[in-house]
Amino acid sequence: MKPAMETAAEENTEQSQERKGTQRQLPKTGCFECCIKCLGGVPYASLVATILCFSGVALFCGCGHVALAGTVAILEQHFSTNTTDHALFSEVIQLMQYVIYGIASFFFLYGIILLAEGFYTTSAVKELHGEFKASACGRCISGMFVFLTYVLGVAWLGVFGFSAVPVFMFYNIWSTCEVIKSPQTNGTAAVEQICVDIRQYAIIPWDAFPGKICGSALENICNTNEFYMSYHLFIVACAGAGATVIALIHFLMILSSNWAYLKDASKMQAYQDIKAKEEQELQDIQSRSKEQLNSYT
């Protein structure tokens, strides 16, 4: 039987040799492997949705702001010469322009947050980095983003429908001007009977003057730069609102799938922790039994 000191020394030498062997066997990761690992953690779906969301919000806010200013100019110059008649409408337009500033700022920040959340969940699901693990707080945050994105998507559906109203109004005016320009409309009397009454859209009160434009005066309005720019900018703003709705639906699908993946990953992680704990307890029992046998021998 060997002394206890010699046995401990042999065990220490064996452990040091094993450590050196494992250090020699560890592969050295180069720059290419690190780049591939980082690219694997990029949430490409969230990146596409973020770009689409930024583009849609930028089109809606930028084009909508300029189109609203052009609408006020057309109203003041042609349909309502009295300032008190369209004072309320001008205040509403100014308020909407301030709201547009707030929408642009909020969605710029919200898109960055969703992109960062996509990076977190992608790394947690794929386990690319050790610090990214599925936790109860992470699952709660993902669920909160799912609910908030759903609410914002429903709200943007309303914004998309509301942005189609000025497009419809300008289209009616433009189509009326096309009727005036058509060769089938002959005679000055027939042309002057074709009118557009802006008061029917509840923009200005019924006692506003003139409120209704007919004939050649209406055709001159359609040929102005303000009408042309406002009409097309409202179309682009409506398309931007539609793109934002699509981006939010895309975000909603991504967040829902990531939340489900995190839930499954947390269950798997809990199972692995229990299994590792059981194996550790089994190893402790075996080590204690070996120590007892060595003490008997």
* DSSP H or E stretch at residue 197: strand 195-197
82 vs 66 pLDDT, higher one:
66
pLDDT bucket at 208, cuts 50 / 70 / 90: confident
Q: Compute φ and ψ for 214, nearest 5 degrees.
A: -130, 160
Q: What is the pLDDT of residues 136-163, one digit of tens each?
A: 666 777 788 889 999 999 999 999 999 9
CA dihedral sign, ordered 192, 198, 242, 111: positive
pLDDT bucket at 39, cuts 50 / 70 / 90: low
DSSP 201: G
C-alpha neighbours within 13 Å on the C-beta side of residue 90: 12
Distance between CA atoms of residues 198 and 86, nearest Å: 12
Distance between CA atoms of residues 73 and 62, nearest Å: 17
The confidence score (pLDDT) of residue 102 equals 92
Residue ranges per domain, the chain? 47-265
- Angle (deg, nearest 10), helices 87-126 and 225-296: 30
Q: What is the pLDDT of residues 97-151, one digit of tens each?
A: 899 999 999 999 999 998 888 777 766 555 544 444 556 666 777 788 889 999 9
Dmax (CA) of the chain: 126
The confidence score (pLDDT) of residue 109 equals 93
Mean pLDDT of 171-187: 80
pLDDT bucket at 33, cuts 50 / 70 / 90: low
The confidence score (pLDDT) of residue 89 equals 87
Distance between CA atoms of residues 242 and 53, nearest Å: 10
The confidence score (pLDDT) of residue 183 equals 65
Mean pLDDT of 256-278: 68
Whether residue 239 has pLDDT greater than 90: yes
Per-residue burial over 141-175, b if 16 or more Cβ lie within 10 Å, else e, is bbeebbebbbebbeebbebbeebbebbebbeebee
pLDDT bucket at 240, cuts 50 / 70 / 90: very high
DSSP 266: H
Q: What is the average pLDDT score of the chain?
A: 78
The confidence score (pLDDT) of residue 9 equals 43
Cα–Cα distances (Å) from 251 to 212, 227, 229, 241, 292, in that order, read 46, 36, 32, 15, 60
Beta bridge partners, 84, equal none
Distance between CA atoms of residues 271 and 261, nearest Å: 15
Whether residue 260 has pLDDT greater than 80: no
Cα–Cα distances (Å) from 2 to 7, 15, 107, 188, 294, in that order, read 7, 19, 74, 124, 11
Nearest to 173 by CA among 194, 200, 196: 196
Whether residue 282 has pLDDT greater than 80: no
- Angle (deg, nearest 10), helices 136-181 and 215-222: 140
Whether residue 288 has pLDDT greater than 90: no
The confidence score (pLDDT) of residue 7 equals 43
The confidence score (pLDDT) of residue 60 equals 95
The confidence score (pLDDT) of residue 219 equals 85
> What percent of the chain lies above the pLDDT cut of 90?
29
The confidence score (pLDDT) of residue 246 equals 95
Distance between CA atoms of residues 187 and 183, nearest Å: 10
